[in-house]
Amino acid sequence: MIKTKPVPAELNRLRDFGLRVLARRGPLADEEDRAVRAALAEMQGAAAGHELITEGQPLNRPCLLLEGWAVRQRVLSDGRRQIYTFLLPGDGIGLCARPDGVALQNTLALTPVTFAPMPLLNQRLQAQARTGLGEVAWDMLSLEEAFLTNQVMRLGRQSAYERLIHLLLEFHDRLKAKGAVEAGSFVMPFTQEVLSDALGLSTVHTNRVLQQLRRERLIETHAATVRLIDPALLAEIADYRTSPRLG
């Protein structure tokens, strides 16, 4: 299930991306920089569908996601699935501020993914270190919490139409912060079924709402690429507010 490492040029791009993400709060101290570079050299891949973390498993192998999308999800005994959060390139996987924490959801690769083990992330969280890397790790955790908060509001009190817009805006903002948005458009590399399991809808209905948004010229889609035509208008419709710390 674990794939071979990517080709060198690609590898360098991913390493640099990782370095940029981890230095977001300012240049890392020499020691942290060395450790991070060493960890990034250990990057590995996994196929789409691979389960990266299993519910109940100790959270002692934090990683940095460098490429591809993943989700945290749970499945009811009758097969119904609920997606809790999406993990995008640059996000942490398996972070935990508690020494003996345990995963509450499964983490699943939606696409082929590349990630690097990054034990330093949990070390900094658990040491409450106020270093550059420590701040970044805490920001990651805080953001996860903010996204989950958004998710609850969407599921509990918004219509399908609002929910979808709200989630699209969240993707837009998160990817924009990572430099992966161009003229309002970005890639959503997964099926409408995934979207439905995140939004608590049937795939048929998700499809219809997407079509409505296209008809109303609020979004455009080409293959897996989405363009938000008027993000400000969308934000008003769905009562969306950008999360702080997304800088």
Q: What residue ranges bind DNA (CB under 7 A)?
A: 159-161, 191-193, 200-205, 207-211, 223
* Full DSSP string of 118-171: -HHHHHHHHHT--SHHHHHHHHHHHHHHHHHHHHHHHHHH--HHHHHHHHHHHH
Residue 78 interacts with a copy of itself (CB under 8 A)? yes
Q: For residue 172, give every residue at least 6 positions away whose Cβ sits within 8 Å of its Cβ, in sequence order, or none.
A: 181, 184, 186, 228, 231
SS3 113: strand
Provide the token pair at 72: 């945290």
CB of 79 to DNA, least distance (A): 11
Q: Does 183 bind a copy of itself (CB under 8 A)?
A: no
99 makes contact, choosing from a copy of itself, DNA, none, with CB < 5 to 8 Å by partner type, with a copy of itself
Q: Indicate whether 106 belongs to the interface with a copy of itself (CB under 8 A).
A: no
Q: Which is nearer to a copy of itself, 149 or 211 (CB)?
A: 149
Q: Per CB under 8 A, which region of 43-51, 63-71, 99-107, 182-190 contacts a copy of itself?
A: 99-107
The answer for residues whose C-beta is within 8 angstroms of residue 222's C-beta and 6 or more apart is: none
Is residue 97 a contact residue for a copy of itself (CB under 8 A)? yes
Closer CB to a copy of itself, 44 or 207, in the complex: 207
